[in-house]
Homo-oligomer: A and B are copies of this chain.
Amino acid sequence: MATKAKETPTKGEVTRLAIEDAAVELFIEQGYHATSMRQIADRAGLALGGIYNHFASKEEIFEAIVLDKHPYKKVLPLVLEAQGEDMKAFLQNAVKVTLGELGSEPMYMKLMFIEFVEFNGKHGASILSEIAPKVLPVFERMIKGRKELRVTNPALLMRSFFGMIISYFITEMLISKSVIGKLMPKDTAAAYTDIYLHGILREPV
């Protein structure tokens, strides 16, 4: 009884999620400011005024979405649990697992850019400062005593890691439908990982 009652979501919770789902779709399609509360209400299947029983404002919907559906939320635990015999295997796994998760819903990456463009990183800074202290130690631990790493600055290693992933998705979303897409290797993610690990040049300095 206790278990069952606890798992049954209340009507309000269901509606709240419906609003979030409708809003995130519209935000990704059109951006934040171009999306109206009426559009959100329509797609969520309720009246305009009903939204305000669950969210105090439009911006509060966006904040809830950013917190709930931010890609880092999903990726972080995966990276933390990534394993491998050596550094190379570890990083390859980390990339694989990260791109795999993000790749299943690549458009959620767009939330980051909406935040960047339309809010000037207003919420992003706080999110970043929440995430960074958790991830940085992982890279610090990773580096310790590993002779096979050329890059030994943990902050640089972390940033370049996520930088590669971000640039992968941007170019994927922008380029995939263009001429260049047809000339790219089939497994672009693997190619990107390879460049990240070994660079584009044959000979190391």
Contacts and interface: CB of A to CB of B under 8 A. Distances in A.
B136 A180 contact: yes
Contacts of A167: 163-164, 166-167, 170
A150 interface: yes
A117 B110 contact: yes
Contacts of A91: 200
A158 B196 CA distance: 15
Number of copies: 2
B154 A183 contact: yes
A116 B170 CA distance: 9
> Per DSSP, are chain A's interface residues mostly helix, strand or loop, or mixed?
helix
A49 interface: no
Interface in A166-205: 166-168, 170-171, 173-175, 177-180, 183-185, 188, 191-192, 195-205
Contacts of A171: 159, 162-163, 166
A39 interface: no
A114 B34 CA distance: 12
A117 B121 CA distance: 14
Contacts of A29: 120
Given A116-B117, A129-B179, A150-B198, 19 more contacts: A29-B120, A30-B118, A33-B33, A114-B117, A125-B174, A128-B175, A133-B179, A147-B202, A148-B202, A150-B202, A153-B185, A153-B191, A155-B180, A156-B184, A158-B180, A159-B184, A160-B192, A163-B171, A195-B196
The 5 A-B residue pairs with the shortest CB-CB distance in the complex, in nearest-first order: A163-B167, A33-B33, A199-B199, A155-B183, A167-B167
